[in-house]
């Protein structure tokens, strides 16, 4: 609305014949429109712009086109409870339905349909006025393929409810792209490999993340040694464990830093193999590197006759969710015999300071688990390894397995909600032209014919950058936009879905009072026409009120013509 009024105001500056311009503002008087702050690059708000228009126009009318709305329900959010949707693993969803009406609504039926299949139903018994109700769904996405795929979901409210108790049906449907992976891709870099059963650094961790059996863990584990790690492609993984690795090169540290910045989750497991000087120089880097603390000395008892326990500092942290309530005694069975002492630098000016998740019950409460946000990703460092050399955690069976699984899900980036946009928001997607062709096909919601789109280099002056960007701006319809990418080697097509939904702010139909607008307008010459008023009569009055100017000009012209004619006749005599 503000951009439209700004355009009208500018039209007066470009047109000098404004004496008979009449401006009609057709509005439903939504509060969020009239109370919005300065937009569109202007230094004025909506009311100030309307005041300026009223000063320049022959007439300015605000026409009310709506009435007070009593009820409106909307699907506010579709929330997957896991960061990654895994092929063959049940995924849980919460659908949030908000009641923006003035009265409670009973028996709200919500439907959940995947790829146009028969919907799953869930009923919310009651949603109070102004409140939110939650419908829960569980669904297992399955596909025989071996790569990321999309399974578009349509969530909707009951049609009968929409007809009887809902003023705006456009917000009763919400779409979700549901990008499903074959598992969270995890890399374990084994710093102390061994051919003896149970002795390698990665043995217990890899077994906990991928335990085998009929149930799918949802984690795809790869184990590499230090040599293979240096040449590996980090972008192939969501989470990387660096397990008791002797040293890390400068080049690999820089690659890890960029990978974390882009959303990767890095776990540093510190044990007896590491070179603390290298870690401090290459990874800590005086507080600017990946390691959230500086390493000092190894603490604890080498004979393992004494031990300390792990003490959570953040009781509600996801890593310790399993140990709440009666399960707390299981954490007390974990004995830590040795650990790395560390020095935490407390810098209040730091954008992302280190966060101590757990400490040890040593005399100095030495940190056990410390994390830090870095760009879009995070780094988590554990001062004792996840093998059975310095602690007995792997020997605790189920508690170790569950903690390892929770750790991976916590460190993984949020992939489940990728592809969500608002209507009119452009689709922006990075395309690696080494893997996919520049040209792609796009299918708009409700249409049958694909249109051609293409990726373009981000920097035309640097064509060596092989990650290009596909941009598409015609997202004017709500629904699922499907893009099909052809593989560069001709091996097939990869399809991804994007879900465009109406901005939830559009569902707020609360109205502002005319008195409030008049108060802000002050003495501006603006007339308000209530709902149902005859607009054309007002236009006729304005036209009649402006006719005297036209008549006066015509009479003036006639007088000048008559004087000139008289002078011309007199001159001829």
363 and 214 in one domain? yes
Verify that 36 and 118 share a domain, yes or no.
no
Task: Supply the pLDDT for residue 268.
Answer: 97
Domain edge (last residue) among 152, 178, 204: 178
CA separation for the pair 254, 232 (Å, rounded) = 14
Q: What pLDDT sits at residue 561?
A: 59
Distances (CA, A) of 433 to 264, 470, 486: 22, 11, 10
Q: Does 38 reside within a domain?
A: yes
Please give the pLDDT value at position 431: 93
User: Which residues lie across from 176 on neighbouring strands?
Assistant: 153
DSSP output for 225-260: -HHHHHTS-GGG-SEEEEES-S---HHHHHHHHHHH
Range of the domain at 33: 2-68+512-558
| Same domain, yes or no: 266 and 353 | yes
Same domain, 161 and 217: no
Nearest Cα residue to 80 out of 72, 91, 89: 91
Residue 267 is assigned to a structural domain of this protein: yes
Same domain, 399 and 482: no
pLDDT for the residue numbered 37: 47
Residue 41: what pLDDT?
Answer: 45
324 with 262, same domain?
yes
Q: Which of 454, 408, 300, 430 is nearest to 363 (CA)?
A: 300
Task: Write down the pLDDT at residue 141.
Answer: 94
Last residue of a domain, one of 476, 495, 510: 510
Count of the separate structural domains present in the chain: 4
Do both 274 and 263 map to the same domain?
A: yes
Phi, psi of 138 (to 5 degrees): -130, 130
In a domain, 151, yes or no: yes
- Whether residue 351 sits in one domain with residue 338: yes
* Phi-psi domain of 73 (left: phi exceeds 0; alpha: psi -120 through 50; beta: other): beta
> What does the block give as tokens for 144?
């025989």
Cβ atoms of residues 328 and 312 within 8 Å: no
* Residue 568, in any domain of the structure: no
- CATH number of the domain where residue 142 is located: 2.60.40.10
CB-CB neighbours of 349 under 10 Å: 5
The set of residues, in sequence order, having a beta carbon less than 8 Å from that of 553 and lying 6+ positions away, is none
pLDDT of 40 reads 42
- Has residue 567 been placed in a domain? no
Strands (E), 71-191: 73-80, 85-86, 90-99, 105-114, 120-127, 132-140, 149-150, 153-157, 173-176, 179-181, 184-190
Residue 32 makes CB contacts below 8 A (sequence gap 6+) with 505, 508, 510
The model's pTM: 0.80
pLDDT tens, residue order, the chain (573 aa): 788 888 888 888 776 655 578 899 988 888 888 876 434 444 578 888 899 999 888 889 999 988 877 788 999 999 999 999 999 999 999 999 999 988 899 999 999 999 999 999 999 999 999 999 999 999 999 988 767 899 999 999 987 765 666 788 899 999 999 999 988 999 999 999 887 887 899 999 999 998 876 557 789 999 999 999 999 999 999 999 999 999 999 999 999 999 999 999 999 999 999 999 999 999 999 999 999 999 999 999 999 999 999 999 987 888 888 888 888 888 999 999 999 999 998 765 667 889 999 999 999 999 999 999 999 999 999 999 998 889 999 998 888 999 999 999 999 998 888 999 999 999 999 998 989 999 999 999 999 999 999 999 977 666 667 889 999 999 999 999 999 999 999 988 999 999 999 999 888 888 888 999 989 898 898 999 988 777 655 554 544 455 555 555 655 666 665 666 556 555 555
């Amino acid at each position: 609305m503000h951009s439209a009024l700004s355009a009208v105001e500018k039209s007066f500056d470009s047109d000098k014949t404004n004496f008979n311009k009449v401006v009609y503002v057709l509005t439903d008087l939504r509060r969020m429109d009239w109370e919005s702050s300065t937009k569109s690059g202007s230094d004025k708000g909506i009311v100030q712009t309307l005041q300026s228009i009223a000063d320049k126009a022959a007439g300015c009318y605000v026409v009310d086109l709506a009435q007070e709305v009593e009820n409106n329900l909307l699907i506010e959010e579709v929330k997957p409870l896991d960061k990654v949707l895994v092929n063959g693993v049940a995924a849980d969803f919460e659908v949030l339905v908000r009641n923006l009406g003035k009265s409670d609504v009973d028996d709200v039926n919500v439907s959940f349909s995947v790829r146009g299949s028969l919907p799953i139903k869930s009923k919310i018994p009651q949603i109070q006025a102004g409140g939110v109700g939650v419908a829960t769904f569980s669904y297992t996405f399955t596909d025989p393929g071996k790569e990321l795929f999309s399974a578009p979901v349509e969530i909707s409210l009951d049609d009968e409810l929409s007809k009887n108790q809902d003023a705006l049906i456009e917000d009763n449907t919400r779409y979700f792209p549901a990008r499903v992976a074959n598992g969270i891709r995890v890399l374990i870099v084994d710093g102390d490999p061994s051919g003896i059963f149970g002795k390698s650094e990665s043995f217990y961790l890899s077994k906990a993340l991928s335990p085998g059996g009929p149930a799918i863990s949802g984690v795809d584990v790869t184990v590499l040694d230090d040599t293979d790690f240096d040449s590996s492609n980090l972008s192939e993984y969501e989470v990387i464990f660096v397990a008791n690795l002797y040293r890390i090169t400068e080049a690999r540290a820089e690659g890890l830093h960029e990978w974390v910045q882009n959303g990767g989750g890095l776990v540093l497991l510190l044990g007896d193999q590491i070179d603390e000087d290298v870690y401090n120089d290459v990874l800590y880097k005086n507080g600017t590197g990946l390691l959230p603390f500086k390493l000092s000395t190894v603490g604890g008892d080498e004979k393992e006759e004494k031990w300390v326990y792990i003490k959570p500092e953040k009781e509600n942290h996801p890593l310790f969710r399993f140990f709440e309530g009666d399960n707390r005694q299981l954490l007390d069975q974990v004995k830590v015999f040795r650990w790395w002492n560390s020095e935490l630098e407390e810098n209040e000016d730091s954008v992302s300071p280190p966060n101590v998740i757990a400490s040890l019950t040593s005399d100095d409460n030495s940190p056990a688990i410390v994390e830090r946000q870095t760009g879009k990703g995070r780094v988590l460092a554990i001062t004792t390894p996840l093998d059975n050399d310095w602690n007995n955690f792997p020997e605790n069976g189920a508690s170790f397995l569950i903690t390892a699984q929770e750790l991976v899900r916590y460190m993984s980036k949020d992939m489940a909600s990728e592809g969500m946009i608002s209507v009119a928001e452009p689709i922006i997607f990075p395309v690696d032209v080494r893997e996919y062709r520049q040209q792609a096909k796009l299918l708009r919601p409700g249409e049958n014919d694909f249109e051609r789109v293409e990726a373009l280099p981000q920097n035309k002056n640097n064509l060596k950058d092989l990650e290009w960007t596909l941009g598409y701006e015609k997202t004017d319809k709500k629904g699922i936009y499907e893009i099909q990418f052809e593989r560069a080697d001709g091996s097939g097509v990869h399809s991804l879905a994007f879900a465009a939904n109406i901005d939830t702010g559009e569902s707020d139909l609360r109205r502002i009072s005319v008195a409030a607008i008049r108060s802000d307008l002050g003495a501006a010459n603006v007339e308000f026409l209530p709902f149902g008023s005859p607009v054309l009569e007002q236009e006729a009055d304005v036209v009649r009120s402006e006719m005297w100017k036209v008549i006066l000009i015509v009479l003036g012209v006639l007088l000048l013509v008559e004087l000139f004619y008289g002078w011309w006749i007199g001159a001829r005599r």
